[in-house]
Structure 1
């Protein structure tokens, strides 16, 4: 199964990765590896949140209102000015006060510093939301269909790279409760259910 992460990395391979690398001041290999970690982490967070009916409904609404996938139709324009897509705002809601710790943790597992990893997360978040919005539209997904899609994506990521997903789960599990993504449900609910 081709994951949304795979599809996005494929789309970025024709010039996009080079643009991102230049923006963050890193080589393409390190940038690609960092994106390959950041996207499944964000996907897993969304999958866990949408496993609850109210979370799925709120995400469905946010995608319908603000993330129709058009960002992927003109990647060069987005990558020239990624700040315009408000990736920082999305992450602020999704990760909240954990954002620095997540960036730091991801950086420790890559060749990038935490500042560069923070930039990667800010670029990855709007891309992922755009890809989900595109899937929602093309497949005519309702909230439960969207939840099922995300669950499948999470499972595929787990199967294709269990060691990386284990690392990501540990990274998000700030209180060692063993249920990593519980930590960010509140932040996700603020993003998809609260004021925007």
Structure 2
């Protein structure tokens, strides 16, 4: 893939959506924009890691079809999320499992977000990421991704691309997912996760 999904979604959020997010979090718009730019690769990369396992791909595909298809434009969805809708907390639990708090702490440390603002930002962005994926992966002309296997393949490529690009988003993704610090998600990491990464009920 040329342009990453994270970059594509970031471009769609420029302007009024970023302005609304900055107002909701009480941040200067430039800081909010930078935090969103770091958070999107973290979210999409973690989703990609989940979908690299068949059970994770099946779970995500079902969730996109059931809960996130047909949610309308991102601006309308953002308004709903900022008003308290969107199930951001629940979605983050599926995406990060036991690493949800670590993801928020890492994002806060990397972007200078104080208090619970990093967690708030992830809760705002999580439903938007899922709606974006549903529209992108299940939309007309997207036959290649209209299966759990196709979805897993595309999102796996996205995760690899985010890691290879590095930068703040790629570095955060590695720090959150590779708990052992060895660059690999091995057996020790999976045991620490307790299965939470697959997004299934524990």
What residue number does 1:50 align with?
51
Partner Cα separation in structure 1 for residue 78 and residue 102 of structure 2: 30
Runs of 4+ aligned residues of structure 1 deviating over 4 Å after TM superposition are: 180-185
Q: How many residues align?
A: 192
Change (3 A) 1:68 1:96: same
Q: Which runs of 5+ in 1 are unaligned?
A: none
Deviation at 1:167, TM superposition (A): 3.7
| 1:148 paired to 2:153 | yes
What residue number does 2:112 align with?
111
Change (3 A) 1:27 1:91: same
Change (3 A) 1:142 1:166: same
Partner Cα separation in structure 1 for residue 80 and residue 68 of structure 2: 13
Deviation at 1:179, TM superposition (A): 2.6
Q: Which structure shows the bigger proportion of residues in helix conformation? A: 1
Partner Cα separation in structure 2 for residue 127 and residue 3 of structure 1: 16
Equivalent residue runs for 1:1-20 within 5 Å: 1-20=2-21
TM-score by length of 1: 0.85
Q: Which runs of 5+ in 2 are unaligned?
A: none
Deviation at 1:178, TM superposition (A): 3.9
